[in-house]
Homo-oligomer: A and B are copies of this chain.
Amino acid sequence: MGNPTSRPTHRPRTTVLGTGLIGTSWTALLLARGHRVTVHDPRPDTGRTLRADLARLVPGLADLGLTLDPDTDDLTVADDLTTAVRGADAVQENGPERLDLKQQLWADVEAAAPADALLLTSTSALTATEVSTRMSDPGRLVVGHPFNPPHLVPLVEVVPGRDTSPATVDRVVEFYTALGKHPVVLRREVPGFVANRLQSALFREAVHLVREGVVDVAGLDDVVTSSIGPRWAAAGPFRSFHLGGGPGGMAHFLTHLGPGMADGWEHLGRPVLDEATTSDLVAQSEQATDGRDVADLARERDTRQAAVLAALAEQ
| A-to-B contact residues, CB < 8 Å | 21, 125, 147-148, 153-155, 157, 182, 184-188, 190-192, 194-195, 197-206, 209-210, 212-217, 219-251, 254-255, 258-262, 264-265, 267-268, 270, 272-273, 278, 281-282, 284-286, 288-289, 294-295, 297-298, 301-305, 307-312, 314-315
CA distance A251 to B282 in the complex (A): 6
Does B204 lie within 8 Å of A282, measured CB to CB? Answer: no
With A239-B289, A261-B200, A272-B262 given, is the CB distance from A247 to B295 under 8 Å? Answer: yes
Does A227 lie within 8 Å of B301, measured CB to CB? Answer: no
Chain B proximity of A23: nearest CB distance (Å): 15
Does A201 lie within 8 Å of B205, measured CB to CB? Answer: yes
CA distance A245 to B314 in the complex (A): 32
Contact partners of A284 in chain B: CB under 8 A:
238
Which residue of chain B has its CB nearest to the CB of A247? Answer: B294
With A273-B254, A308-B308 given, is the CB distance from A201 to B201 under 8 Å? Answer: yes
| Copies of the protein in its oligomer | 2
With A194-B214, A237-B203, A254-B282 given, is the CB distance from A230 to B264 under 8 Å? Answer: no
Does A226 lie within 8 Å of B187, measured CB to CB? Answer: no
Does B281 lie within 8 Å of A254, measured CB to CB? Answer: yes
Does A231 lie within 8 Å of B268, measured CB to CB? Answer: no
Chain B proximity of A153: nearest CB distance (Å): 6
The one of B229, B239, B268, B302 in contact with A201, judged by C-beta atoms closer than 8 angstroms, is: B268
With A153-B230, A184-B223, A198-B202 given, is the CB distance from A304 to B315 under 8 Å? Answer: yes
CA distance A70 to B268 in the complex (A): 41
